[in-house]
Amino acid sequence: MKTGRNNFCPCGSGKKYKKCCYLKNNALDTKSNLEESDTDDDENLIESAFLVQAINNLRKFTLDRKPHIKEYYKIRKMHSEIINTMVSYYEAGKFQLKMDNNYFFNNEHPTKNSGALHLVETRFDSETREGRQALFDLLIYKASPNMNCITEGFIKSRRYRKPEKIEFLNSMLYSTIGLFEITKTDINEAYVYLKDIFTEIEYKIVDIALSGNPVYDDLCVYTRLIKFHDTIFSTGLCLTFNKKDDFIKNYIHNQKKDYKSEKEFLRFVQLYNYYSNNHNKIKILTNIIK
Q: Where are the domains of the chain?
A: 17-63, 69-277
Comparing 15-19, 33-37, 178-182, the range with the smallest average pLDDT is 33-37
* pLDDT category of residue 231 using cuts at 50, 70 and 90: very high
Residue 19 pLDDT > 90: no
Q: Which helix (DSSP H) or strand (DSSP E) does residue 256 occupy?
A: helix 246-257
pTM of the full structure = 0.75
Rounded to 5°, angle at Cα 283 from 239 and 90: 50
Average pLDDT, the chain: 80
SS (H, E, C) 58-85: HHHHHHCCCHHHHHHHHHHHHHHHHHHH
Question: Counting Cβ atoms within 10 Å, is residue 209 exposed (0-12), middle (13-18) or buried (19+)?
Answer: middle
Tens-place pLDDT, residues 142-175: 988 888 999 999 999 999 999 999 999 999 999 9
DSSP 284: -
Question: In angstroms, rounded to a whole number, what is the distance separating the alpha carbons of residues 200 and 197?
Answer: 6
Instruction: Give how far Cα 222 sits from Cα of 37, 65, 138, 225, 248, Å.
Output: 40, 30, 14, 10, 12
By three-state DSSP, how is residue 95 classified? coil
Amino acid, single-letter form, for residue 189: E
CB 3 within 8 A of CB 9: yes
**Alpha-carbon torsion (69, 19, 237, 29), positive or negative:** positive
Question: Are 98 and 83 spatial neighbours (Cβ–Cβ below 8 Å)?
Answer: no
- The phi and psi torsions of 76 (rounded to 5 degrees) equal -65, -35
214-219 long-range CB contacts below 8 Å, 24 or more apart?
214/185, 214/187, 216/182, 216/185, 217/182, 218/242, 218/243, 218/244, 219/181, 219/182, 219/243, 219/282, 219/284
248 within 8 A of 37, measured Cβ to Cβ: no
How far apart CA 100 and CA 112 sit, in angstroms, is 9
Q: How far is CA 275 from CA 77, 194, 281, in A?
A: 28, 20, 6
Give alpha helix (H) positions in 98-237. 129-140, 150-156, 163-173, 208-211
Tell me how far apart the alpha carbons of residues 42 and 31 are, in angstroms, rounded to a whole number: 10
Model confidence pLDDT, tens digit, residues 163-217: 999 999 999 999 999 999 999 999 999 999 999 999 999 999 999 988 888 778 8
